[in-house]
Structure 1
Amino acid sequence: MSRPNPFARPARPRGITDGIDITGLLRDKQATAQSVVNLYALGYGPGLLEWFCKLRQSFGNLSEADAPFVAAVVSFHWVQDDHINNEFLNLAVELVSYIPSFSRIVLAAAFRSFLPVSLSDHEVQIRARASQVTPLLSHEAAAAWGHKLTGVVLKRIPSAGTVLESVLYATVSEDIETHLPLLENALKISDYLPTFTPCLVTFGTHMLSTMDVNIVRTRELAAEEESSEDDVPRRRPAIDIGLGVPVERSKGREREDTIMHTSSLGSPFTPGSLTTHRSLTDRLDMLHASGVNTNQEDVERQRLGDEERVFDQCMAAMIRWWQRADPARVQAGVINALDTILLPTQNLRYSQFVVFTHVSLNPSQAEAVLTHLLRTCFDPAQPMQRRLNSAFYIGSMLARAGNVPLSIAERAMGVMLDYCHSVARLVPRVDESMGQSLGGNKIAMFYVLFQAVIYALCFILPEAAMEGLQAGVEIVAESPLAPLAVVLPSVASEFARVAQHHDFCAQALSAPPPTVPPVLKALVNSLHLESAFPFDPYPLPLAGELLQPLYREWRFEEDDHDEESDLTMGQLLPTYDRDAMPVDDWEVW
């Protein structure tokens, strides 16, 4: 049942627009647009409806140059009268039907409640003027009509999906308070257009990664300011492999004894993850210790707290959306987000949990993502940084994601060890020509893949203690490349502790401590291994409650284990002869 329009003035006739020269108004679109605003301010909603009905007769005369006029028409189509709202909805759809390029304007109008920026300076002026008069509808009611309009346009205009994607990206602003309502509004589009789901995954990941980089940047700037207080020498430049806050490398790559820490899931953190997930309280304690005044502490607390709070809310919104979205379409978006945003982007802190959410939901999704990461890892056409990042994702995924079957994990680790073995077979001894014969990329992949394997084994032993896997680890560990002396000391020490407890790789671990060959020191110092694995437990509270049940439980002290899963890798890997496989063939796959 329609409600009375509060903007109508009974003393004025409904037909106030009778006799308006439509042709004359179309000659001056800007004046007409301003007239629309003025009439709304005076309260002539019903009269405008009559005028718009007459305007339909002249749609054929509209062109691309009429964008400000059309924006004024469709940007004020919500009033507290269902009949008028429906008429304006039909009007907007007809506008797009006549001139498809107007779909951008119509879709932007549907999101007008959340737009931090406008399509043009003229539209900014129109909206600023409109904001000075009585608002038309509540936020919730406007959003409801916006979704209805969006759904109608998406169904009727073939190119509307592409247009809407550009509109969404254009609406992300520096005002973080606009991010959550914009993201929630965008995710509902899948209800109208399921095929738009992959774009929504990519858009959500883009928004999160943008916030993510800003959070890291804020902390880096604060750390630089802190190090300059009281003439304190600045730290050495931090290194970054794209999976977390850069971690400082000690001079000459000197190794310090590592104390293993325990997370809320009972599993050890690496030093990199401790730096990446440094709490706000720790940061403020350091500021206080460095003599920063209370006011600056308050500003720092507010800035970091707001950024992380909004990020947490947005991440939780995406996880909840995952529960009702089409898994197959979400998967396409996750793969695209990996390729275009996550793997190439440095200085990420939280946004990689988009991938963790997806791979943890069921084994088939985990297998698809793992397949893609392995292919990226061994593809020589990919940039080296992306290949290295893929290896970190693989190791973290095998270790942490609760729904990755053991059989899949074992075979994936077998493939990585085979690559390491093929590299090690080309190095019967360490000499000056070794680097030239192998190349820095192969050696770098050797160390990163081996670290990923032993990191995963820290979590899935003794279940994964199969004979072939144990032999593969021992062969690589005892090679002249001395990987146990190169990988993160926290990973190496934790692997030694867990492996000795389960009598795994006893021969390799009982040997004298390995040392980095002198000829490799320059290469080793250039490797970016000091980084958190991307799926260390999510540290923020809201999304953390949703993510924690998806983690593999830390069961180091347990001797009992379930039967191995019968699931196989499917088409993940080709059949091959391990002994006959030359190392260059890996670079093809």
Structure 2
Amino acid sequence: MTPEVHNVNSVLHHWTQGDTRLYDTLLEVLNDPGLQSRELVFILQSMRGCVAQLDRTHEVLVGSLMKVNWPNQEEGVIREYRSFLLNLLSAHTFYLRAGLRMLVRHFLPDTSESEPEAETKALEDKKYINIHLVLRAVSSLIPMTWTVLMPLLSNCCPFILRPLYHLECFFTNLLQIPAYMPSLRQPILELIVSKLIQLDVRSPRCEIECTEGDKQEVDQVMFQMEVPSKHQDDNMPDTAEHVGAQKLDVLMELLLKYIHDTSYKKDVCDWDTCKKLYRELLLVFERIVLPTCASSHCQFFMFYICSFKPALADGFIDYLWTRFQNPNSETVFRQTSVAYIGSFISRAKFISIKTLKTCMELMVEWVHRYLEEISAETIFADVSHHAPFYSVCQAIFYVFCFRSKDILDSEKGYKWAAGLQLQRIVTCRLNPLRSCLPLVVETFSSVTRIYQLAFCDTIIEKNKRCTISVSTQNNDGFAVQTEILDSFFPFDPYLLNRSGELVRPLYREYTCGAVSTPHTKQHLQMEDDDFLTETENKVAFGTSGAPMSHFGVSQKPPASTDFLNYGTSPGFKHV
């Protein structure tokens, strides 16, 4: 290297005089990938003394410095570069965007390998530490840093088709930023969840089950439906594992561990910190997850944080119920909200019986009040006009299928359940048994028949024979029948393996267990029930009277084979 370029002040002086030879030489040296650390230190030390001269006319020179790969250099280079950058950005804030963009781009690994060696990963981790030290210093020095940084994080975020290692590195670095810029936590969480949603909708539940589940077990419990083979569906992935699901699994684990580590200090929940994080996540849920109708796993971050404190779960339910009750909300959002309530209180093990009963009372009371307020002329089960009503009915049926044992085992549980007046709901003129999902209806009918809380069989058989002429128009202008409610069960079984280790201990699988009350024992001892066929008796209780799955197989299915696993994504479309 020409010794003259070490004196950057002299180089700039010659440039102002019209002599650009040394200036061009300096640019060539900075753009040389073989630039030695010792030479770079000399240049940075010299340039730090003339930072004031580096106005907009020297954007090319500053741009060349921004391209230097300094984070993996020796400690002397890192120290000099950090000092130069801080001086530059504090003296000329118009370089702030370029400086932050350079730092953010270093959040991605330098290697193009999808699975680098451990030594390479260690070097990358060291680089990220240096980047965060500089970024923390910049944020402390320049208060406007956070307003410029967030758009850059969004623009530089890698596309979801990039290798998993790249996504994992970038998101790990994102989650470290709130430690020194807490005002960015909520938008960063929103950015991460938006990417998880994209991965989620690209990884349909049916594909994950076919590629990652145990096919033999799936065949046993798919409710007498054939699992489509790869030859039957050309869109099925050919790989042994679903790539999108793998990425989603790793990134969901990152998010869930961040939620836990932020909320817990020394294995004790920090209530103030946890409550603040919950509010931010609830805002993210409202903006990103709730309007999305094709997610299967992303929404479980709310499920997870609600398990930390009963007050959080109650608050989540209250938020959803408030949204449902708002008559100004769009119908689809009201339906989604009540679907979340039903699925949440059915699946979450941490929901107390008191909360369960309160939710059921709210929903049942709303249904009875709705029936009282509708006009006498309303005789047909019109899903298009009464969608919120049918959604609440389906949530009631769904919850009762899951939690009937808990309800009836509780103190005065049978009396409380009888007070819900379920018979009035199933026999009302809006005929919810006609419009709700058949599997939910059949299961609800079996459960309520056993406990003599409602008798649905006659109505179900009548509905099978009748055709209700209710028509709307689709996008093409053709009349279509809308008899069955579009169904969505957001907390269907969690199929991802790594992140599932955090979710499954909190998750309730469907069991067809009987309630140990005198009223129930009478039914358990009956060999021939007037309502149950021989097959139904075996399905419900098994030949020995012990709880069994609905399929007559041993009740320990994998996570992907829950009895009420409908696989109804995307959204309200029942597949």
> Common fold, TM-score beyond 0.5?
yes
Specify the alignment match of 1:238 in structure 2. Answer: none
Distance in 2, Cα, partners of 1:419 & 1:342: 26
In the alignment, which of 148, 153, 169 is matched to residue 181 of structure 1? 169
In the alignment, which of 123, 126, 143 is matched to residue 138 of structure 1? 123
Specify the alignment match of 1:462 in structure 2. Answer: 405
Note the aligned Cα RMSD (angstroms). 4.3
Shift of 1:490: 0.9
Structure 2 letter corresponding to 1:505: L
Specify the alignment match of 1:536 in structure 2. Answer: 492
Moved more, 514-523 or 302-311: 514-523
Answer yes or no: is the 8 Å Cα contact 1:270–1:532 preserved in 2. Answer: no
CA offsets 1:317-361 (integer angstroms, 9 cap, x no match): 111111112422331232222222112123323322222222233
Answer yes or no: is the 8 Å Cα contact 2:203–2:245 preserved in 1. Answer: yes
Answer yes or no: is the 8 Å Cα contact 1:474–1:505 preserved in 2. Answer: yes
Answer yes or no: is the 8 Å Cα contact 1:116–1:172 preserved in 2. Answer: no
CA offsets 1:264-283 (integer angstroms, 9 cap, x no match): 9x9x9899xx9xxx9xxx55
Answering whether residue 69 of structure 2 is matched by residue 83 of structure 1, we say no
In the alignment, which of 134, 147, 161 is matched to residue 149 of structure 1? 134
Specify the alignment match of 2:190 in structure 1. Answer: 202
Distance in 1, Cα, partners of 2:335 & 2:92: 48
In the alignment, which of 135, 147, 150 is matched to residue 165 of structure 1? 150
Distance in 2, Cα, partners of 1:536 & 1:451: 15
Specify the alignment match of 2:449 in structure 1. Answer: 500
Specify the alignment match of 2:250 in structure 1. Answer: 313
| Change over 3 Å in CA distance of 1:491–1:87 after alignment to 2 | same
| Change over 3 Å in CA distance of 1:49–1:347 after alignment to 2 | same
Shift of 1:470: 3.9
In the alignment, which of 491, 495, 504 is matched to residue 440 of structure 2? 491
SS at match of 1:493: helix
| Change over 3 Å in CA distance of 1:288–1:538 after alignment to 2 | same
Distance in 2, Cα, partners of 1:522 & 1:428: 20
In the alignment, which of 280, 287, 302 is matched to residue 355 of structure 1? 302
Answer yes or no: is the 8 Å Cα contact 1:459–1:555 preserved in 2. Answer: yes
- Long gaps (5+) in structure 2: 113-119, 211-215, 263-272, 473-479, 518-575
Shift of 1:487: 0.6
Distance in 2, Cα, partners of 1:449 & 1:401: 19
Specify the alignment match of 1:229 in structure 2. Answer: none
Answering whether residue 396 of structure 2 is matched by residue 453 of structure 1, we say yes
| Change over 3 Å in CA distance of 1:449–1:534 after alignment to 2 | same
Answer yes or no: is the 8 Å Cα contact 2:86–2:138 preserved in 1. Answer: yes
Shift of 1:389: 1.3
When normalised by structure 2's length, the TM-score is 0.70
In the alignment, which of 362, 368, 387 is matched to residue 444 of structure 1? 387
Structure 1 letter corresponding to 2:35: L
Specify the alignment match of 1:121 in structure 2. Answer: none
Shift of 1:310: 1.1
| Change over 3 Å in CA distance of 1:138–1:496 after alignment to 2 | same
Specify the alignment match of 2:202 in structure 1. Answer: 214
Distance in 1, Cα, partners of 2:26 & 2:244: 38
CA offsets 1:370-401 (integer angstroms, 9 cap, x no match): 22211221223322222211111111111112
| Change over 3 Å in CA distance of 1:511–1:306 after alignment to 2 | closer
Higher relative contact order (Cα pairs below 8 Å, separated by 6+ residues): 1
Specify the alignment match of 2:101 in structure 1. Answer: 108
- Long gaps (5+) in structure 1: 1-8, 118-126, 128-134, 224-260, 562-589
Specify the alignment match of 1:413 in structure 2. Answer: 360
Number of aligned residues: 472
CA offsets 1:294-313 (integer angstroms, 9 cap, x no match): xx98xx32397222111111
Specify the alignment match of 1:557 in structure 2. Answer: 513
Specify the alignment match of 2:502 in structure 1. Answer: 546
| Change over 3 Å in CA distance of 1:162–1:18 after alignment to 2 | closer
Distance in 2, Cα, partners of 1:510 & 1:557: 25
Distance in 1, Cα, partners of 2:147 & 2:206: 33
Structure 2 letter corresponding to 1:543: S
Specify the alignment match of 2:345 in structure 1. Answer: 398
